[in-house]
Structure 1
């Protein structure tokens, strides 16, 4: 039986196998370097199927759900496939399924007073700053 080959001639990882979690996060391009992925996992900021993981050598497989912080957002990811190399972005996106809620819902949230511009009184506010200030005042009166 012929084995399908991915871009670059690399065969896909065998089904049912395990892979180090730090290596997979790097392959899937969630972190720029493998050592950064190792640091996040080692600090205990990763959950696999709801269990807190602190060893970067922990083995993950297809179907596992990973939860971790990336920047200012929490990512919830289902592992779809394992890889043998760190390929281009479109190849990396095929390794996981994003379980996060759509971003559009967050964009429709009205601005709160904490979202007011940091105008410190030096000079005139820009037109954008004035609009945000007006919105903030109106929402406080309602």
Structure 2
């Protein structure tokens, strides 16, 4: 657990502060905005930005159309490095569904079709223009 100088270990932190500290959001204001928009849930309920999170709480963060499901294993309030951030939660997010094979856009063979500007200039040089 994160400790403050001269104080006992932290038992709770604001959800916006915690999600920012463990690098789920780039800025604290983005974390607050996500809470306000209803993209963050704590134990299944929509979380306001000041709602406290405790060890063992389930935090769901909706980003890019998918939910990340995290179990709080360590409470931090200050932003930490990526290696430390991973230790602050247990990721229960299911693996993403397999991506569907998309048809590749057809590519034209070189020399087929209309010449490029460079090729046109080379042709004009050969013709003596």
Q: Distance in 1 between matches of 2:100 and 2:2?
A: 49
**Counterpart for residue 89 of structure 2:** 96
- What's the TM-score once normalised by structure 1's chain length? 0.64
Unaligned runs of 5+ in 2: 110-129
**Counterpart for residue 124 of structure 1:** 108
The correspondence of residues 1-142 of structure 1 with structure 2, limited to 5 A, is 14=9, 17-53=11-47, 55-102=48-95, 106=97, 109=98, 111=100, 115-117=102-104, 119=105, 124=108
Q: Which structure has the highest helix share of the two?
A: 1
C-alpha contact 2:18 2:77 (8 A) present in aligned 1:
no
Unaligned runs of 5+ in 1: 126-142
Change over 3 Å in CA distance of 1:5–1:36 after alignment to 2:
closer
Q: Cα RMSD between the aligned structures? A: 2.9
Question: Which of these two proteins has the greater Rg computed from alpha carbons?
Answer: 2
SS of aligned partner of 1:78: strand
- What's the TM-score once normalised by structure 2's chain length? 0.70
SS of aligned partner of 2:32: helix
**Counterpart for residue 116 of structure 2:** none
Aligned length: 109
Q: Distance in 2 between matches of 1:22 and 1:59?
A: 9
C-alpha contact 1:5 1:11 (8 A) present in aligned 2:
no
Instruction: Using CA pairs under 8 Å that are at least 6 residues apart, name the structure with larger relative contact order, 1 or 2.
Output: 2
